[in-house]
Amino acid sequence: MEIHAFLAEGEPVVGLEILALPFDPDRITDSLTHAASEPHPTFPELQAEMAAYRRPEAEQLYEIGTSWRATRDSVRHLADSLNSVSPAALGYAVAYERLRQQYRRLAQRQAEREAAFRQQMGDDRDLALRASHAADSLREWESEAYADFPALADSALTRSGREPQEGVTDAEGRLELALEPGPWWLIARMREEENPFSERYWNVAVVMSNLGPPRIPLSESNSLRRWRH
């Protein structure tokens, strides 16, 4: 059986780790969630904020310092021109005063640049900190609620009579696995480049037989976008 992992417009997902299990791990965690003594922690407002987040583009961050760089280059050019002129030369005093004004303007532009960076990255740090605190509380809950998961997974594996298989997609986003007949669940996770709080998650069920299916797609349409905690 061939697995083909791709995103929008057929872009291959290279280096995606795929685990084929003969049981559904999400069904086990769902049952443990329902049986937990405490409800699953939820953070709807925070999760909505994280889902909407987009990492600043490099070009956007570069543009923050455009005025500062222009003023810096002007100062360098004027300073270089004065270095080759005698202080006694005609017009030197006027040019030197212009250089002093440019230095003051450069200091102002630098302060504006640093304030813009702090505003942009400060918002990011605040969101990251709140996300980290929420993730800590969620992992603490999972450590107790899902404590029986390993034993239940081992039991499900034994009942299936089959062993898990795994592999990594190649440069074309493809992976071949020789799966025995029966039900399988293909599990994979991929970080989203534009959002460090989010990941693509696949749990794709497939029933293998001697006739196939020959190819299984892993795409955006059969993935879940979720919080990467």
3-state DSSP helix/strand/coil % of the chain, to nearest 5 = 50, 25, 25
Return the SS3 of 201: strand
HSE value, Cβ hemisphere, 13 Å, CA-based, for 222? 16
Whole-number pLDDT of residue 53: 83
DSSP state of 212: B
Mean pLDDT of the chain: 84
Whole-number pLDDT of residue 90: 67
Residue with tokens 């559904």: 24
Return the SS3 of 83: helix
Which of 117, 124, 10 shows the shortest CA–CA distance to 68? 117
Return the SS3 of 70: helix
Residues of the chain with pLDDT under 70: 56-65, 67-69, 75, 82, 84-85, 90, 92, 95-96, 99, 106, 112-123, 212
The letter for the amino acid at 101 is Q
Reported pTM: 0.71
Q: State the fold for domain 2-22+162-227.
A: Immunoglobulin-like (2.60.40)
Q: What is the pLDDT of residues 18-65, one digit of tens each?
A: 999 999 999 999 999 999 999 999 999 999 988 888 776 545 545 556
The letter for the amino acid at 65 is G
DSSP state of 209: B
Nearest 5°: phi and psi at 130? -65, -35
What token pair was written down for 219? Answer: 């795409």
Is the Cβ–Cβ distance between 33 and 147 less than 8 Å?
Answer: no
Interacting residues of 49 by C-beta distance below 8 A, sequence separation 6+: 127
Task: Characterize the bridge pairing of strands 215-218 and 2-5.
Answer: parallel
Q: What is the pLDDT of residues 171-186, one digit of tens each?
A: 999 999 999 999 999 9
DSSP state of 22: S
- Between CA 185 and CA 164 the distance in angstroms is 10
Whole-number pLDDT of residue 119: 59
